[in-house]
Amino acid sequence: MARKEKFSKQDLIDGGVEFIRLNGIEKLNVRDLAKFIGCSTQPIFRNYTNIEEYKKDLKVSLHKDYEKFIDKYIKKDKYLLTISYAYALYAKKESNIFRALFVTSLAGTRTVKEVINSPWNRETIEYTSKVFNISIEEAETLYRDVRFYTHGIATQLSCNSIKLSDKELYSLIENMINTLL
């Protein structure tokens, strides 16, 4: 009779999310992850060829955590403002996961054009065009500028190099949108 696996792939991924939440992705390695989860390295290597393969599945789960968070804040009539605010607020409240997803090598590299053309950003751009009665090209420019402005604030929040109340954060982004319009 085959021995029942004590740690499933999902257990390993859930453990990895918590590991990153508490320790950051910089400290993620197989030995420390196994210790954190409470297993040997064997279940990890039984399910994954190497740590990079594991990180691919982990990234998917981290993105789900992020999407679940921001969905609570998005309002379609203020899409650009609320999605930008949620992004920065996530950096403030989930700094280690934010950095893993958006600041480290796990995030990958994209051009500005690829960012603008990402399907998940197109919806924001289309709503921005409608809400502000501007062309798609103007909405793309506005989205780009607000996104990178917000990313700067979010990165500072995630590194704890700036302190902002939630109200101040919202106001900064709202003011930038109004300035750029």
Q: What percent of the chain has pLDDT over 90?
A: 87
**In 3D, which of 35, 37, 43, 32 has the Cα closest to residue 9?**
43
Rounded to a whole number, what is the largest CA-CA distance in the chain? 68
Q: Summarize the confidence of residues 160-164 as an average pLDDT.
A: 96
Q: What percent of the chain has pLDDT over 70?
A: 97
- 1 pLDDT band (50/70/90 cuts)? very low
pLDDT of residue 4 exceeding 70, the answer is: no
Measure the CA–CA gap between 142 and 129, rounded to whole angstroms. Answer: 9
pLDDT per position as a tens digit, 112-143 = 999 999 998 999 999 999 999 999 999 999 99
Q: In CATH, which superfamily holds the domain spanning 9-59? A: Homeodomain-like (1.10.10.60)
Measure the CA–CA gap between 40 and 33, rounded to whole angstroms. Answer: 9
pLDDT at residue 129 in the model = 96
pLDDT at residue 120 in the model = 87
Measure the CA–CA gap between 12 and 150, rounded to whole angstroms. Answer: 32
pLDDT of residue 49 exceeding 60, the answer is: yes
Cα angle 165, 126, 145 (rounded to 5 degrees) comes to: 50
Alpha carbon separation from 10 to 39, 47, 54, 96, 160 (Å, rounded): 14, 10, 11, 20, 31
pLDDT per position as a tens digit, 74-115 = 999 999 999 999 999 999 999 999 999 999 888 888 899 999
Q: How many CB atoms sit inside 10 A of residue 62's CB?
A: 24
pLDDT at residue 5 in the model = 55
Q: Summarize the confidence of residues 51-75 as an average pLDDT.
A: 95
Q: Summarize the confidence of residues 37-60 as an average pLDDT.
A: 92
Q: What's 5's DSSP letter?
A: P
**In 3D, which of 88, 109, 107 has the Cα closest to residue 25?**
107
Q: Is the dihedral of CA 77, 79, 80, 84 positive or negative?
A: positive
What's the mean per-residue pLDDT of the chain? 93
